[in-house]
Structure 1
């Protein structure tokens, strides 16, 4: 019996391996728009796809980032300035994409732009702190996608949304985890709706990686800033020791994070170029071996694990 079971499992993975190795034809004619190309995942993916021969439309927040990227890539790659929090900027970028893609449509849209701060216990933060992240990580993703969907549908192309393991398991307060849970929900609804038009939607769920936006010093500084602006009652309830422990935990991100960003961009590239892309990609061994399994555990067990590793406030019960 076990031999038959092992054979079936082996055949399943062999078939999946074969399907996932099939590549879309005429990649050199495909246009892909990537947001957040100034640095990190977006920057590396733009260079990676350019080497692959695709026609990359790289959206950067700053002219400096766009200029640096153009200096590292071929003449095929074009850049546009895009602020995903501004409707007029999205409208201008959409028109720019239309002019370049013409009747071909947009094969790929990669919603990569995002921020991770401020991240701190919820009670230290204000509504504006939450909105800073939600405007970029969630509402920006939604508006950019809705603006470009007609072009993606025309090409029967792909939408690739960057979520996070923090969109499956919550370890801290603030808007980041909320935004990534929202990206997961938006992507799921989008995938089901667009399947009628031959459009595929993939979600990238990276673990912890060393990128400019996940700089532990910046995260710690923003957490300290949130603490400084908290009310005296909040400070008394949590205590200085809780602050110190929280900052120390954030510094540990440096040791936990992975340097190899290609683990993420390879997933993005596969989602854009494979005939049979996956629905979800878990990037990084920490995502595969720790956080993804945790997301399937009973809630009380996950709560116990997170509670065990978290600092305790001074006035905790």
Structure 2
């Protein structure tokens, strides 16, 4: 009995591998629009797809980021300045893309732009600090997608949304985990809705990688700033020892992050170029072997694991 199950599992994996290796035709004629290309995953993906011969439309937040990217790529790649928190910027970028893709439509939309700070206990923050992250990671992504959908639908193309393993398990406060949970929900509903039109939607769920989002110096300075602005009640409850322990943990953040960003961009590329892309891609061994399995555990076990491994406030029971 077990032998039959092993054989069936092996055959299923071989069939899956064969299906996923089939690549869509005429890649050199397909346009892909990527947000957040100043650095990190977006920057590497733009260069990766450019080397493959695709027509990359890269959105950067700054002119310096755009200029640096153009210097490392072919003449095929074009850049545009985009702030996903501003409607007028999204509308202008959409029109810019429409002029370039014409009647062919947009084959790929990669919603990659994102920020992560502040990532501190919820009680340290106010509504505006939550909204700052949600405006970029979730609401900006939604508005970007809604504006680009007619072009993607015309090409019967792909939407690739960058979530995180923290969209499955929430380890800390602030808007980042909330935004990634929202990305998961929006992507699921979008995938089912667009399946009627031949459009495929994929979610990328990276573990911890070394990018500007995980830069420990940025997190350290932001944590200190939020602490300084916190109320006297919050400071009394959490205490200086809690702050010092968190700052020490943040200092070691870079050492725990994977530097091989291609593990993530390879997933993005597969979602854009495979005839049979996956619904979800987990990138990094920490995501595959720890965070993803953890997300399937009973809630009380996850709560207990986080409770006993986390830093406690000074006034905790």
Aligned mates of 1:136, 1:262 — CA distance in 2: 23
Which residue is 2:296 aligned to? 296
Which residue is 2:106 aligned to? 106
Q: Deviations over 1:81-134 (max 9, x none)?
A: 000000000000000000000000000000000001011000111111111100
Q: How does 1:77-156 map to 2 (within 5 A)?
A: 77-156=77-156
Moved more, 45-54 or 224-233: 224-233
Which residue is 2:32 aligned to? 32
Contact kept in structure 1, 2:28 and 2:55, CA below 8 Å: yes
Which residue is 2:263 aligned to? 263
Q: How does 1:60-75 map to 2 (within 5 A)?
A: 60-75=60-75
* Residue segments in structure 2 that go unaligned for 5+ positions in a row: none
Aligned mates of 2:111, 2:226 — CA distance in 1: 28
Aligned mates of 1:295, 1:252 — CA distance in 2: 24
Q: How does 1:1-317 map to 2 (within 5 A)?
A: 1-317=1-317
Aligned mates of 1:251, 1:127 — CA distance in 2: 27
Aligned mates of 2:252, 2:11 — CA distance in 1: 41
- Secondary structure of residue in 2 paired with 1:239: helix
- Secondary structure of residue in 1 paired with 2:58: strand
Contact kept in structure 1, 2:60 and 2:66, CA below 8 Å: yes
Aligned mates of 1:233, 1:21 — CA distance in 2: 57
- The TM-score with structure 2 as length reference comes to 0.99
Aligned mates of 1:11, 1:289 — CA distance in 2: 23
- The TM-score with structure 1 as length reference comes to 0.99
Cα offset for 1:251? 2.4
- Secondary structure of residue in 1 paired with 2:249: helix
Q: How many residues align?
A: 317
Cα offset for 1:252? 2.9
Moved runs in structure 1, 4+ residues, more than 4 A?
none
Aligned mates of 2:263, 2:119 — CA distance in 1: 25
Contact kept in structure 1, 2:214 and 2:254, CA below 8 Å: no
Cα offset for 1:207? 0.3
Aligned mates of 1:11, 1:249 — CA distance in 2: 45
Name the Cα RMSD after superposition: 0.6
Cα offset for 1:250? 2.1
Aligned mates of 2:64, 2:177 — CA distance in 1: 29
